[in-house]
């Protein structure tokens, strides 16, 4: 004799069963999206707080309040204020410098390549939040060596390596006659640092045309452009 199924079992069998993979994937995807949005909000809030207050005076409580999250939520993404600042550098500044090392071999002159990159760098840094972060590191780096060390590894060393490679190429092509310039690639990027610092301290007294200063600087290195 066959045993009849209970009413509960019959109802379960009759109702459509959701696909297990889809059912689990949707909530997981939604959670991941929300977590990414919270992380982005925390990073954005951190940038505003660091720029407004400085690294030393910024508190996690203020970052959490600006981001609209509980302070404990910050620790789900970052272990401390320093790691949060490092994330800012990685997401805001590192990509700009990384473009230098990703440049293809120049089909034109080395000067043209450097002028294009440096010009874009100035546009993306001067008068932007990136410039504010660079000035913050210059101002507070001596008090926080680990922050300065991180910035050197992730930004400065990459920029110097890229500039040195371009200088060596310029020397090999006969575009740069001062061979010792490769020993001091900092000279090549000096206008960018001068412009960043000048913007915050003296621009209201004497506005600086950073792009024109760059062209004059490159004239000193490569020689003045010939006009026809």
Per-residue model confidence as pLDDT tens digits over 185-200 = 999 989 988 998 998 8
Of 76, 77, 81, nearest to 62 (Cα)?
81
Reduced to 3 states (helix: H, G, I; strand: E, B; else coil), residue 160 is: helix
Q: What is the pTM of this model?
A: 0.77
Give the whole-number percent of the chain exceeding pLDDT 70. Answer: 86
* The predicted structure's pLDDT at residue 200: 85
**Model confidence pLDDT, tens digit, residues 61-78:** 999 999 999 999 999 999
What is the Cα–Cα distance from 51 to 43, expressed in whole angstroms? 12
Contacts of residues 172-176 at CB distance under 8 Å and 24 or more positions apart, as own/partner, are 173/109, 173/110, 175/109, 175/110, 175/111, 175/222, 176/110, 176/221, 176/222
Q: Which DSSP category does 225 fall into?
A: P
Report the C-alpha gap between 225 and 111 in whole angstroms. 10
C-beta of residue 46 within 8 angstroms of C-beta of residue 136: no
Tokens of 35: 């977590």
């Amino acid at each position: 004799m066959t045993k009849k199924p209970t009413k509960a079992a019959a109802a379960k069998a009759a109702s459509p069963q959701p696909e297990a993979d889809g059912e689990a994937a949707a909530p997981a995807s939604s959670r991941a999206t929300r977590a990414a949005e919270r992380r982005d909000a925390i990073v954005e809030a951190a940038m505003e707080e660091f720029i407004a207050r400085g690294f030393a005076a910024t508190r996690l409580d203020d970052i959490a309040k600006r981001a609209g999250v509980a302070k404990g939520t910050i620790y789900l993404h970052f272990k401390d204020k320093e790691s949060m600042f490092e994330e800012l550098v990685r997401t805001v500044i590192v990509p700009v410098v990384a473009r230098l090392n990703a440049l293809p071999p120049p089909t034109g002159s080395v000067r043209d390549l450097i002028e294009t990159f440096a010009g874009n760098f100035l546009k993306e840094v001067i008068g932007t939040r990136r410039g504010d972060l660079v000035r913050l590191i210059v101002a507070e780096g001596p008090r926080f060596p680990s922050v300065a060390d991180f910035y050197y590894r992730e930004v400065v060393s990459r920029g110097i390596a890229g500039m040195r490679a371009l200088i060596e190429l310029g020397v090999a092509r006969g575009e740069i006659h001062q061979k010792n310039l490769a020993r001091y690639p900092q000279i090549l990027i000096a206008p960018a640092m001068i412009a960043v610092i000048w913007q915050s301290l003296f621009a209201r007294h004497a506005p600086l045309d950073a792009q024109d200063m760059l062209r004059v600087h490159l004239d000193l290195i490569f020689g003045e452009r010939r006009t026809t």
